[in-house]
Structure 1
Amino acid sequence: MTQTAGPAPARPRRRPPAWAGRNYSLLTAAAVITSLGANGSLIAAAFAVLDAGGDGGDVGLVAAARTLPLVVFLLIGGAVADRLPRHRVMVAANALNCLSQAAFAVLVLAGEPRLWQMMLLTALGGTGQAFFSPAAEGMLMSSVSGEQAGRAFAFFRMATQGAALGGAALGGALVATVGPGWVLAVDAASFAVAGALRAFLDVRHIPPRPPGEGLLADLREGWREFAGRPWLWGIVVQFSITNAVVGAADAVYGPLVARDHLGGAAPWGLALAAFGAGTVGGALLMTRWKPRRLLLAGTLCVFPVALPSAALAVPVPVAVLYVLMFVAGTTVEVFGVSWMTALHQEIPEDKLSRVSAYDWFGSVSLLPLATALAGPAESAFGRAPALWGCAGLVVLVTGLVLLIPDVRGLVRRTARVTASGAPSADAERAVGGLG
């Protein structure tokens, strides 16, 4: 007698990891959407200027118009984000970015946008970014807890870096096929979708902040938190210089070396893509590796960032450059995840956005100056010596940061510092692998 088979047992539903809660998932999805749009829009904005009859100098002016308000308003944005509900600050900033990019798209699609109009709208976008970035970083750090925070940050960065890489490639293709105006319109739509997602963030877990003494008092309190930690301000100073010289090498010297020695724009674009792919690989690595000495491991991984500038100074064959760019992207992402984990662990929740604002301020403040001085430096010293100087400065400032005892000694803990500034009960138990 044959027996009929019963229904197959239901496969257990795979649950997301404990650290991937509702807020974290919303933040990651929104960040991926805006990364796709924003990295395409950077290419679209440059070509919109060129299509309107501008030259390289005009492209630089539009880029500077975005950076200037970003530098000016970052610290205020951090204080506001620690005073108001962070998700509301993020949504308001997304709305401003959406409207400014939509207006930019309309001008381009209508034909013959003027330079001052493009600069004004780009400046509005930079203002929105100045308020958004500290709020977003504080919100992300408050959305995860426990010893899996490093893995959560690694997955977040892997997702956004992958989206940035795809957004740049897709944006370039769309600019070539449908024109920059439509790419700017897509970016505006991405801000609208991301803002809608961020409106659903749950902030009930964040304790209400008592009334303060005003914006200036909040800024002073944030400065005390920043200046009182040598590891914090030391690394911010390190990266203000590192970002500046690497940015100058990538924006100014890289295209020139590619034109003269590597075969033109296409190989240089592939080199930048290799760096982006390396950042995705580095984030993937950090989902598994949890160095015990966070800042020591991260800072040691900054030294390879000097390799691409040195390679351009030689210059090496393009295949070697691809490998070195990938290595630099991988190692700098190891630092990035370690850095976020250290901030999450050490900075009280109610000061996260203000400290993040000082971090962002240091990261971008010297970049316009370095980019502006790159041309005169080449004229004065030559291109190869200027590139060796960029590589040497990265090595020098990274070596100096290692002299700070807290950079060498800060260890991973299972819990973050509470709002009072004291570790929670189990915070002293170190976790993770080799430091």
Structure 2
Amino acid sequence: MTWTAALAPLRNRNFAWYFASRFVNTLGNMMASIALAFAVLDITDSPTALGQVLAAHTIPMIALLLYGGVIADRFPRTLVLQFSNLASAVSQGAIAALVLTGRAEVWMLVVLSVVHGVVSGVGFPAMASVLPQLVERSELQPANALVSLTRNGMMVLGPTVGALLVVTVGSGWALAVDAATWLVAALLLVPVRLPARQPRGEAPDTLRELREGWSFFWATPWLWIVVVGFGVLNAIHTGAWSTLGPAVADDTIGRQAWGYVLSAEAAGLLLTTVVLLRVRLERPLLLGMLGVAMMAPPMLLLGVSPTLVGLVTAAFLAGAGVEVFGMGWNLAMQENIEDGMLSRAYSYDALGSFVAMPVGQLAYGPLAVAFGFQPVLVVSAIAYVAVVALVLCSRSVRDLPRAPATPASAVTTTTP
């Protein structure tokens, strides 16, 4: 693939505006993730409290995912995204205001995280499934890579800048920037025009549409097997890495160093994205699952030897592997599932993948207190590799090929 072909999606007006929206929003989010973690730890030095705030976002998001998939398959996806972005701007702005004024308490952050989780659940399936409506099928890999390039580039700078703001002016400013970017992201979607959809022959029926989505999900082995596997993998990741990680860093390498570790992970994502702009990814799920197994070594090091150099190196390699999976999964979904079912498929994917995340967020703090940080992290790393191996036992996962790169002419038709 030439660089001209790799950058071709940017010449598409719809994709260019969508790309700009994702760029702005991602910049704020990357700073906000680390800022929120340390804002909670400043209020109460407890990984259990941090897990509660994170779970308060995750649980309602999971609860609304299936409904969000139906909405995104029924209404224009950019309109769904605009609503979600505006509501997120309000909820994140309220969190920032409380932190900046020194009035924040854990229960307040829990309540506002619930609000943000609700709107995220509605918006996620639309965000995940809109790309095939913006570009030709032959441009799906470079389009996905460009979106990943934006996200991963901001992930390199975001955590470090966010950590710098935390140790200089406080967590509230990073959260305030995040709130502003949600607003700007909504405005940048206004010029996007999506392809006209074929009218449905039946009246909208949420339960029927959910049943259709479930039937498709269960009839597609590679889809449900990977999703079930990631239900466990994400619980381990959010518990061991996202919940215990900041707490371990606070007592060992320090907050600023934890920002460097997260930035190194993002650098691995970024470098791999650049490679995938040029290299066609065959056998997307086989390579993706092998790549995601690289998340186990940094968990192991976090428990056994949390040194800056070791964690930065392991996080970089983990980021590279995770990006291979992300690209492989998006291509598998977008190339093998028709547009009218895609949002619901993504919603069942997200539901199964995210459903156990609150378990990890809520359980890992008490587990670390009861058994110690090191044993919990070591067992988590071993379990992570074991789950990846079990998923790869399925031939439908190992052997899924790329679909032929046939053009999708419908992307040229627009609606207001």
Deviations 1:246-290 (A, max 9, x none): 222213443455466x54334333222211111111212211221
Q: Supply the distance in 2 between the matched residues of 1:62 and 1:340 (Cα, whole angstroms).
A: 29
Task: Give the TM-score of the pair, scaled to structure 2.
Answer: 0.88
1:148-187 pair list within 5 angstroms = 148-187=139-178
Q: Which residue of structure 2 aligns with residue 339 of structure 1?
A: 329
For the pair 1:66 / 2:80, whether they are aligned, the reply is no
Q: Which residue of structure 2 aligns with residue 324 of structure 1?
A: 314
Equivalent of residue 21 in structure 2, options 17, 24, 30: 30
1:172-321 pair list within 5 angstroms = 172-255=163-246, 257-258=248-249, 262-315=252-305, 317-321=307-311
Q: Supply the distance in 1 between the matched residues of 2:351 and 2:36 (Cα, whole angstroms).
A: 23
Tell me, which stretches of 5 or more residues in structure 1 are unaligned? Answer: 1-13, 419-435
Q: 1:319 to 1:74 in 2, by over 3 A?
A: same
- Is residue 107–residue 113 contact of structure 1 (8 Å, CA) maintained in 2? yes
Q: Which has the larger radius of gyration?
A: 1
Tell me, which stretches of 5 or more residues in structure 2 are unaligned? Answer: 409-416
Identify which of structures 1 and 2 has the higher relative contact order when contacts are C-alpha pairs closer than 8 Å and 6+ apart: 2
For the pair 1:411 / 2:404, whether they are aligned, the reply is no
Q: Supply the distance in 2 between the matched residues of 1:15 and 1:395 (Cα, whole angstroms).
A: 36
Q: Which residue of structure 1 aligns with residue 348 of structure 2?
A: 358
Deviations 1:346-369 (A, max 9, x none): 011011111111222223221221
Higher-helix-fraction structure:
2
Q: Which amino acid aligns with 1:231?
A: W
Q: Which amino acid aligns with 1:174?
A: L
For the pair 1:100 / 2:91, whether they are aligned, the reply is yes
Task: Give the TM-score of the pair, scaled to structure 1.
Answer: 0.84
Q: Supply the distance in 2 between the matched residues of 1:258 and 1:180 (Cα, whole angstroms).
A: 17
Q: Which residue of structure 2 aligns with residue 40 of structure 1?
A: 31
Q: Which residue of structure 1 aligns with residue 76 of structure 2?
A: 85
Q: Supply the distance in 2 between the matched residues of 1:66 and 1:88 (Cα, whole angstroms).
A: 22
Q: What's the offset of the Cα at 1:175?
A: 3.8
For the residue of structure 2 that corresponds to 1:19, the secondary structure is helix
For the pair 1:402 / 2:392, whether they are aligned, the reply is yes
Q: Supply the distance in 2 between the matched residues of 1:302 and 1:58 (Cα, whole angstroms).
A: 28
Q: Supply the distance in 1 between the matched residues of 2:400 and 2:231 (Cα, whole angstroms).
A: 21
% identical aligned pairs: 37
Q: Supply the distance in 2 between the matched residues of 1:160 and 1:336 (Cα, whole angstroms).
A: 12
Equivalent of residue 127 in structure 2, options 122, 127, 136: 136
Q: Supply the distance in 1 between the matched residues of 2:406 and 2:390 (Cα, whole angstroms).
A: 27
Q: Supply the distance in 2 between the matched residues of 1:16 and 1:283 (Cα, whole angstroms).
A: 11
For the residue of structure 1 that corresponds to 2:280, the secondary structure is coil
Q: Supply the distance in 2 between the matched residues of 1:383 and 1:54 (Cα, whole angstroms).
A: 19
Question: Which stretch shows the higher mean deviation, 133-142 or 199-208?
Answer: 199-208
Q: Supply the distance in 2 between the matched residues of 1:109 and 1:316 (Cα, whole angstroms).
A: 31
Q: Paired residues, what number?
A: 403
- Is residue 70–residue 344 contact of structure 2 (8 Å, CA) maintained in 1? yes
Deviations 1:113-155 (A, max 9, x none): 4544333222211111111110011112322223331122112
